[in-house]
Copies of this chain bind each other. A is one copy, B any other.
Amino acid sequence: MAADALSRVFSALADPTRRDMVARLAVADATVNQLAEPYDVTVQAVSKHLKVLQDAGLVSRSRDAQRRPVHLEAEVFDLMTKWIERYRRQAEERYRRLDDVLRSMPDDVDPIPPTSTGVSR
């Protein structure tokens, strides 16, 4: 696994089962067995998934007798959101500028060199 935080978060959420767990944990904390119940895998597999989510900082664990309740930590989402928004905005900004350039293209400038077809506006 790539060591950096952002990679860990993205890759943790790249798995549908883990995303479903996050979705359910957004509603309420849950134990490993509760989380495992709907899925067609062993509780050990779920425990592994939880370790991935925990390493990504997406969930935290506490203790309640033998149980180890899982709690969703929503703050880490910010890391992703910030990254995504940054580049989306940048790309959209670029798109907007391209639009401006095309709109302001002077008539005496022909960006397409004449070809055999000879078609240029």
A→B interface (CB under 8 Å): 2, 4, 6-7, 10-11, 13-16, 19, 22-23, 25-28, 72, 74, 77, 80-81, 83-85, 87-88, 90-92, 94-95
Known interface pairs A2-B14, A7-B15. Does A72 touch B91 (Cβ–Cβ under 8 Å)? yes
Enumerate chain B residues within 8 angstroms of A13, measured Cβ to Cβ: 10
Closest CB of chain B to A27's CB: distance in Å?
Answer: 7
Return the contact of A26 from the options B6, B23, B72, B87 (Cβ within 8 A): B87
- Please judge, given known A-B contacts A14-B11, A16-B2, whether A22 and B87 are in contact too, CB under 8 Å: yes
> Which of B16, B23, B28, B94 interacts with A87 by CB under 8 Å?
B23
Residue in chain B with minimal CB distance to A73: B91
